[in-house]
Structure 1
Amino acid sequence: MPTKRQTDNRASEELSGRERKKQKTALARTIAVQSTPGPSNANESAVAGPSKSVRFGSMQGLPGALDVERFAEARAFEINAMQEAMQNARSNATQRAWQQLPRHLRRRAASHDVRRVPLRLRDKARAEMDTAKRKAPGHSMPKKSKQNQPKRTVQLLRRQKDKTWLETHIWHAKRMHMDNMWGYRLAVTPTEKSFRPSHRASVHGSILHDASYFATIEIKGPEDILRSILDQCCDCQGPSPGAKRFLTGARALESCLYDYNAYPHRLIAPVTVMWQADVPNNNQENAATNEPGKGKGKEKAASSNLQQNTRVVWLRVHPAVLADAHRSLRVAASFALNSAKQVGRTAEVEMADLRDHFNVFEIMGPKASQVIKGALKPVDDKRADFQKFWASLSRLQSAGSLPRGMVIGFTVHDPRLSFPPKNAKLETAEGKTLSPASTVFPSAALAESRIWDEETRLAIRKPRYKKKDIDQRRANNLVPGTPLKAERKDDRIPVILMQRSVETTAPAQSASSTLPRARTTNALHGWTLIIPQGWGMPFLSSLIYTGTRVGGQRERQTQAFEAGCAYFPRDFPTTEAYEEYAEDRAADEEETWERKPPAKRPNYEKLGTRSPWKADWDVVLGIARPPSAKDTVNAGDEDDLLDTQREVEMTDATEDAAAPPSAAAPQAAAWDVAAEPWLLRGSDVPAIIADISSMLNPSAGLLMHLNQIRAKRKLDPLPASMRGEDLFRTALVQVGVSLCGRGRPDDLAIIYRINDDEARKWITAEARKKSGLALLHDGPDDTELSQISPSAGGIIGYVTTGSFSLSLGEGHATGAIPLRQYLELRQQAQRLRNDGKLLVKVRNRDETICRAALVDLLY
């Protein structure tokens, strides 16, 4: 029998690495205590044991007084032991200094530079660094080479040769993905996963976006000439830019800018018009008192004062269309001045580009008012309206309860003096049915601000004190954390606060029975803060310290998508900015598609996608020939396709005998390549469509309505060479697309029309599905109907923006279709008695499944 293996005493004494680490950690967390002095261990210490219970009776013999010095000397060992134990436990922690930081403070460079670590962890981080690999900061370059290096300011300016940085660029570049857009280096989206949190912030909290890249155009001149210029270039629908509600400067107008006298063609971009506040008892009254009376009547004197009254108006437009906006306004100004010269009047109009004069922050969400009040400290303002408004911000649940475009001007202290700001909490008043902010109405006195004065803006262009000076003043405070008091030499910054809403239409219009909406979306409300140049970072630091999130271009686009409204330029076809955007996106997507192997990319030719990279609006409208037949073949479709889009439309109109003559597509002898597509949008669009849909000749009715709208702005009628048929067949309307079932429409998804027979099947299938009778096989269900391949001639539009809507909880999209196709869908809904729901089919460009969807008008 073999002998047993003897135990190696040497191996048993050695511990594993894990055990040694546990033993080291346990020893580091042990607090040494002083043992009871004895004959042999008077100066020895022992490990602390379990605490003993203390009886209350044993405390009766304690002295009434205590000598602090003797007591501290007696407890010196315990105090030193506690400090050493805390230091040992800290130095032997299981986490390194870099791992103790929160995720939003972790930097890859922190492992090489101790100065990137917060001050409280620098000693620990310095001790944990490897001495062999430690790099002395500031000694990586010889002195001679360091002298030849350009300064940091020169380096940063050199990097801005082909683009412009915002004042908050460095802050965004550390936390955002950046990209070159419209001549700027802008933030696209945060580096952290923030898609859903950003949406929650816009719906339940607040989110901030730096919109300083928007261009501001200033026009200065006589009031009547400025009104004429704006009437010639702005949207003719809705209120005029020279209306009384906007002319006083109390409100800002959201409109659209067109080329001079070109409405409804050549849409440029949406524009925000804001007049300088015309405070009563100002220039007009002074001019009336100084004017000599030579027998003139009061009306003639008032007319003269109106002509000589110099006003200033600002137009905020997208940077992609700044050159087009300047050109249109210059042409309109020259015509207005020529008209004034013909009547013997001399006038001057000044136009300036104020792109580098302002910083603009958009704060959206229900808590935006509390963020504004917590971050800004107004200077003592004696205006009763402003005091009432500022007090109501803490009780304002949403900025949507205020009038649209309301403007408030005031002056604030340097936000660095009150940093860090304290969040203003929402105060709820019980028993009140009327919102406290609804009692504050827009007025010129409330909108007055010194930011309109160029000399004032230039005087405070550079802050008087640097941040280190403010910090030194704060360090000199006797009580740490006390806010600094504003002194006479401190800067006072004039600002403008403007109410901003992202919503589809007015509630009164959306409730119209003639144009029912397929879905209701959530509107977003907030504020637009305009501050002078040079104060971007001081205000941004205070605003984001209140807890608001910061978003980029993607978050701003998502706000418009969730609100159900169009976003410029991606949702505005027929504009030059949209064409540039579509070309850039098509080039990027095609390059990405070509880099993939054939097995890993969709075959658009077999899928039947006619134009996978860019929407062919000219083909949809019927003013251009479709691509070749091989690009329009559907998967599994053996029938020959028709040559042109117009022949397909004529065939569909002939098959549908129940359709009235107005529903048929207009017939033309030849292709009109020179026809110009245009976008019909505005507040009067629902009334126009409801009127022309009941006419036998809708094209003539459309031309009549457009001439009437132009007459309201004192514009000449459209040229006689422009026929109503051409206007009618080249018009596009923006629509919202909501899927009836599951699925999600993507960008450039194709919108198809449905004939009456298939539409009845879809309606029946949806009714059975809602009633719970979908299991009864008495007809095709939605799954079987979605497998039907549509014809290439049935394309009536494209989706410009499509995704899954977090606010609706289903797929949603924004697109555009021709006006005549929209009228046909309305007539089809009346024939099928579908409660005014306009039914179409939507297919993604890389799929074969066509899903039913409802279409509603956007205006």
Structure 2
Amino acid sequence: MDTDAAKLRRQALLAPPRTLDVRKYAECRAAEIESLHTIVSNRLGNDFRSRRSKRRRTTGFESKNRRFWKHSTSKDKEESKNQNDNEQKKLPRRVRRKIELTKKNPEFGFSVSGDGTKRLRTHVWHAKRFTMEKLWGFYLPSGLHGRGKGSRALLKWHRQGAVVHDASYYSAVQLDGPEDTLSSILSMLLRPSPTDRCEDNCTRLLSGEIYGRAMLHHAKQDSYKAICPVTFMWRPLQQQSIVGTNDRVTEDSIEIKSSSCLRQLWIWMHPSAFDEGLDCLKLACQKMMNDTGVVIGCVSLDGKFATLEVMGLKSFQLLQKLLRPITFSVETGSTTEYTDGDLGKEESFSPGTAVLLTVVDPRFSCHKKAEVLPVAHLSKDPKESMQDKCEQNSTGNLIMKEGVLSTSLSKDESTSSLFMCKDLWDASNGVNPPMEEHILCSKRHQKSLDFFCSKSTASTIFETTEGSYSNLCPIMLLKNADEASLHIGWTIILPICWVKALWIPLISGGAHAIGLREKHWIACDVGLPCFPQDFPDCNANYYMMEKAAAAFDKTMENQSFATRPLRIPIQLPWNSKWFLSNLEGNGDYSGNLDGKLNDVPLSNNCGFSEVSVARTSRMLNSFLKEVSGENLLIYPKGIDRPRFSHVMMNEAKISQGSNLTSLTTDRRLCYLRVVLHAFKEGVFDERAVVCAPRFSDITSLTSRLVNDEGIQVPHAHFGSYFKELPSGKWDFQLPEDPAAREAYRAPIGFVTTGFVRGSKRPAAVAFCEAVLLARFRHEQWSRFPAKKRRKEIFVLVRNLSSTAYRLALATIVLERQEEDVESL
């Protein structure tokens, strides 16, 4: 019986050679080749020339002008060649754009067009698949190609899969200074203030364990106007790894711990309000420096970081497949081990968690826990690669060889490697970019050639490659979840040079890319506001509506008078005095409006800053105290108020909310965000008007028959709800016809985001005046029996393109949660 060694020797002799010599192969097959040549020559009559009709005329004309076939002599060709060598021709725009947008990968910044518009790092990928639009200084994907539909399929992706959005247009501002000074600035500009939170959340915020959301406002002396929603996070005092139990010890963490009063803070803002927010922060830092003498750094991080938003039910499963965090374990002695881990379970992350990680390049799909080559080794010698310690599976992905689980380094090498693998807070000073795609493809091709025992010809490519690359990327992982857990998603903050290395694996892993329109649909489906559409108290919303109105007017000018549609207001009259006039009168006041409304001052003298939106329970409570409305039937969550069930059954409490005579004049308008649901039927569009119902309207619409027409505006007065002022603004008007006045319903608010087709329970986002909501709740609770009272408020909604009033249920958001500062 043969031994194992004899079998191995026999297999080695029978195995094909690693290289083949063509000359030896031809000598052995000389007789066969000669016989084949004889057969072919007999068939062709020993004429091996190609036919004249089959020849290509590629040299019969000049390459400069292919329209004219011109024979050129060899002398002319030499002269033209020398002339081309001397002159440096400018490359075509197509070639220059391809080099700039696809091949170049600088550490910081965006590529800029001729007019100064920025392009995302994924611009080429989006431009082939999305409709691009110039917004906020960027070329952004507005939505998928088509007529703006497809919401049903999108919501299915979100409910059953994962979607991804490149939100790299968001930028951050970094504040450096003492902790107490930075906390004072946040308390002065943010609502809700970090100090207003509970002690546990405040401690976790300061430690950097979680991030916070708030509304950024101007200083109090500047009318305290809202700017935009922001996300703020503190740099952790001690960097910890999520994988394993050992702490990661760095020089930066030791320095921060020794001087804990010096901190760093990031504030992320939307690009439409970034300049305004940056100026506000700089003024606050300057004012604080003048008052206290403490120098506070305020630096813009625009173009240094990228943001990817992954949303959906299976978003965490997708991140588990792609993100492989690295654990840095410092052992006794002079050795350091690097091991590959995973993200763990989703339940271990609480909402609002901010985790700093160092992950492997997602293009290396490591299916086994294995060692990752330190960055210091890759930067010293580009020839060295992971292919020496990797194998290739059937799908072409590189996997680590078994048996190589850790690497022991000397003391100097471990210190250098730890310095190169810095966290995301230090990445603003520079980080090694990922390996270029063509180098990675060349290495995979070389791996395939080695598998087929072929000679390597790609060694020269690696030798001529310049620069240092890394296969480790520092990121920050944020968990996004609202209080109702309807919106589940993750935000990945990473260096901007690593966007392409993570974007393609996310798409290949099963995530569907979405644009701004699809992102707005998801926000409306889960009941979250979307900036700047659902923020009427911010300048960003005002400028966006002003731009849309200018585009609409330009479109109207290009149409004839016969084909022009009905003019409707794009900029809604939020600061109209007609909202105050609804409080006049007694009894059935919501419908019996008299001619005194025509004498109400219009919104010409009403400044835009006078309109405010209460987004926290404290702000709403302070407004109620300001207007002496403590007895109004509005109950912010978190404030010491009786429960709904107790109030709805208590007739004395309801009667206390009827005194509204002191709220008719000399007060500012305060809006609340409400969620509208259709009572029976109807679709609520954007810019629809929320109107006050009569009690007879509620009883008829809740019990009417199917063939009943409901409340209709006469077609002759279809466009008489608004009127355009000489200044170009819009306001309400009361129709003069008695029939139209009978069908008139006074406005109390507007719809900012309409229904999304395909939603299981479609909802619309609207803003209604707070005092009017309390008045209509009081009327409905006082007239309905106790068993039929609802927490929601019955309102009427009329689309600007329709004559019908639809009954809806309005739910005040601040009565379900303490803060309304979430933005998608």
Shorter chain as denominator, the TM-score bin is 0.5 to 0.7
Which residue does 1:162 correspond to in 2? 116
CA drift of 1:495 comes to 2.9
CA contact (8 A) 1:415 1:539 kept: yes
Relative distance call for 1:701 and 1:272 in structure 2 (3 A) is closer
Matches of 1:540 and 1:700 in 2, distance apart? Answer: 46
Distance in structure 1 (CA, Å) of the matches to 2:626 and 2:299: 42
> What secondary structure is seen at the aligned counterpart in 1 of 2:710?
helix
For structure 2, the 5+ residue unaligned runs are: 1-53, 67-80, 101-110, 240-248, 332-337, 367-391, 396-420, 453-466, 641-661, 715-739, 814-819
Which residue of structure 2 lines up, in the alignment, with residue 229 of structure 1?
185
1:501 — aligned with what?
Answer: 480
Confirm or deny: 8 A CA contact 1:238 1:682 kept in the other structure: no
Partner of 2:767: 816
The one of 103, 122, 135 equivalent to 1:181 is: 135
For the residue of structure 1 that corresponds to 2:804, the secondary structure is coil
Aligned 1:180-579 pairs, distance under 5 A = 180-191=134-145, 194-236=150-192, 240=196, 243-261=202-220, 265-279=224-238, 309-341=261-293, 347-382=294-329, 391=342, 393=344, 396=346, 402-418=349-365, 450-454=422-426, 456-463=427-434, 465-477=435-447, 478-479=450-451, 491-501=470-480, 503=482, 506-507=483-484, 523-579=486-542
Corresponding position: 1:831 with 2:782 = yes
Task: Summarize the alignment of residues 666-685 of structure 1 with structure 2, pairs less than 5 Å apart.
Answer: 673-674=606-607, 676-684=610-618
Amino acid at match of 2:803: T
Partner SS for 2:751:
strand
Distance of 1:276 and 1:524 partners within structure 2:
26
8 Å CA contact 2:237–2:253 kept in 1: the answer is no
Q: Cα–Cα, structure 1 residues 689 and 831, in superposed 2: closer, same or farther, change >3 Å?
A: farther
Distance 1:502 1:459 in 2: 31
Matched residue type, 2:312: G
From 606, 613, 631, the counterpart of 2:570 = 613
Distance, in Å, in 2 between the alignment partners of 1:220 and 1:171 is 37
Q: Which amino acid aligns with 1:499?
A: L
**Contact 1:203–1:524 (8 Å) recurs in 2:** no
Residues of 1 paired with 2:306 and 2:121: CA distance? 8
| Aligned equivalent of 2:694 | 755
State the distance in 2 between where 1:818 and 1:598 align: 37
TM-score, scaled relative to structure 2: 0.63
Kept in 1: contact 2:191–2:214 (CA 8 A):
yes
Q: Deviations over 1:605-650 (max 9, x none)?
A: xxxxxx532211111xx1xxxxxxxxxxxxxxxxxxxxx6655642
SS of 2:231's partner is strand
8 Å CA contact 2:325–2:360 kept in 1: the answer is: yes
* 1:736 corresponds to: 675
Question: 3-state DSSP class of the match of 1:372?
Answer: helix
**1:361-416: per-residue Cα shift (whole Å, max 9, x none)?**
101011111211212333344499xx9996464x54xx7x8322111111122333
* SS of structure 1 residue aligned to 2:118: coil
- Residue 555 of structure 2 is matched in structure 1 by 592
Change over 3 Å in CA distance of 1:140–1:856 after alignment to 2: farther
Aligned residue among 794, 813, 835 for 2:746: 794
- Contact kept, 8 Å, 1:736 with 1:813, in 2: the verdict is yes
In structure 2, C-alpha distance between the alignment counterparts of 1:135 and 1:578, rounded to whole Å? 62
AA aligned to 2:309 is: E
Cα separation, partners in 2 of 1:569 and 1:390, compared to 1, 3 Å: farther
What CA RMSD, in Å, does the superposition of the two structures yield over aligned residues?
Answer: 4.8
Whether the 8 Å CA contact 1:493–1:531 is kept in 2: the answer is: no
2:164 partner amino acid = L
Q: In structure 1, what is the Cα distance between the partners aligned to 2:288 and 2:431?
A: 35
1:837 deviates by: 2.9
Which of 710, 723, 728 does residue 784 from structure 1 map onto? 710
Relative to structure 1, the CA distance from residue 688 to residue 595 in structure 2 (aligned partners, 3 Å threshold; closer, same or farther) is same
Residue 349 of structure 2 contacts residue 479 of structure 2 at CA under 8 Å; is this kept in 1?
no
TM-score normalized by structure 1?
0.60
SS in 2 for 1:820: helix
1:664-703 correspondence runs (5 A):
673-674=606-607, 676-684=610-618, 695=629
Identity over aligned residues, as a percent? 21
CA distance in 2, matches of 1:135, 1:678: 75
Residue 543 of structure 2 is matched in structure 1 by: 580
Alignment of 1:703-722 (within 5 A): none
Structure 1 position 257, deviation (Å): 0.6
Residue pair 1:564, 1:814 contacting (<8 A) in 2 also: yes
Aligned partner letter, 2:504? S
Q: 1:782 to 1:236 in 2, by over 3 A?
A: farther
How many positions carry a matched residue from both structures? 592
| In structure 1, C-alpha distance between the alignment counterparts of 2:438 and 2:226, rounded to whole Å | 49
Q: Distance in 1 between matches of 2:394 and 2:517?
A: 29
SS of the counterpart of 1:243?
A: helix
Cα separation, 1, equivalents of 2:546 and 2:298: 32
Amino acid at match of 1:451: D
Match of 1:843 among 781, 784, 798: 798
Would the aligned equivalents of 1:786 and 1:851 in 2 still touch at CA under 8 Å? no
Aligned residue in 2 for 1:446: none
Return 5+ residue gaps in structure 1 as ranges: 1-129, 291-304, 342-346, 424-448, 481-487, 508-521, 605-610, 623-643, 660-664, 707-722, 766-773, 776-780
Distance change in 2, residues 1:700/1:407 (3 Å): closer
Q: Which moved more, 1:828-837 or 1:201-210?
A: 828-837
Residue 172 (structure 1) shift:
0.9
1:462 Cα deviation from its structure 2 partner: 3.7
Q: 1:199 to 1:214 in 2, by over 3 A?
A: same
Displacement of 1:176: 1.0
Verify the 8 A CA contact 2:433 2:469 in the aligned structure 1: no
1:262-290: CA deviations, max 9, x gaps?
A: 69841111100011111189999978998
Structure 1 distance, partners of 2:470, 2:276, is 37
> Structure 2 vs 1, CA of residues 322 and 153 (structure 1 numbering), >3 Å: closer, same or farther?
same
C-alpha spacing 1:648/1:422, structure 2 compared with 1 (3 Å): farther
In the TM superposition, 1:606-645 aligns within 5 A as: 612-619=569-576, 622=577
How many Å separate the matches in 2 of 1:133 and 1:824? Answer: 88
1:147 CA displacement = 2.4
Aligned partner of 2:125 in structure 1 is 171
The question of whether the paired residues in 2 share the 8 Å contact of 1:256 and 1:271 is answered with: yes
